[in-house]
Amino acid sequence: MAPNMTLFSVNAILILSTSDNSRILAKYYSAPHAPAGTPAHSTTYPGANPYPSVKEQKAFEKGLMEKTNKQNSDIILYDNRVVVFKMESDVMLYVVGGADENEIMLYNVILALRDSLNILLKNSTDKRTIIENYDLVALAIDEIIDDGIILETDPVVVTSRVSRPPVQDMNSVKGLDLSEEGVLKMWEFGKMKLGERLRQGL
């Protein structure tokens, strides 16, 4: 077993705009508890956030954009981190892991993110659509990664947990009478049914 094995395999998920090199969405992860004996504010233990301040994060993102703008591959080593990335329209999706992390596992995460966004945003994964559906994008990322731990890489499962409820389900809720009289009738009906069940049980 490798000495630095940890569940906290993802350091960050980034969605950056290629048109103006700006940040659309950035999530940096850190293990909730450092191992015993780790000095305070250390960023060297497995699962630690390597870029704790916004200034460091922006500098990392700027350098990453410059490095990946003219790349042909999907996986690079940058700033002693394994970075997998995918270009979609005018945005770049990144998954950042430690230098000794499994590239195939990180690649599965970027594919899950890309495919989930394509399903949720109906194949229009661009800056404007991501901003308009920011809630869905953030929820999809949270379904894939939690505190740097990979939870799910199946885009169909991710989108089924994230997508908005169907319209027909909302219509059944509209049929409920939520006035004071309607709620009182529901209470009386429930009380009567409970009484019947208790009498049957005795």
Distance CA 34, CA 40 (A): 9
Cα distance between the two ends of the chain: 60
69 assigned to some structural domain: yes
78 assigned to some structural domain: yes
Distance CA 20, CA 199 (A): 71
45 in the same domain as 113: yes
91 in the same domain as 191: no
42 assigned to some structural domain: yes
193 assigned to some structural domain: yes
**200: how many CB neighbours lie within 10 A of its CB?**
7
Nearest Cα to Cα of residue 68 among 55, 54, 87, 49: 87
Please list the pLDDT of the chain residue by residue as tens digits (202 residues).
454 566 888 999 999 998 888 999 999 988 776 666 677 666 666 667 778 889 999 999 999 999 988 888 899 999 989 999 999 889 999 999 988 888 999 999 999 999 999 999 888 889 999 999 999 999 999 999 998 899 999 999 999 888 765 555 445 555 666 677 777 887 888 888 888 878 776 5
Quote the domain boundaries for residue 66.
10-162
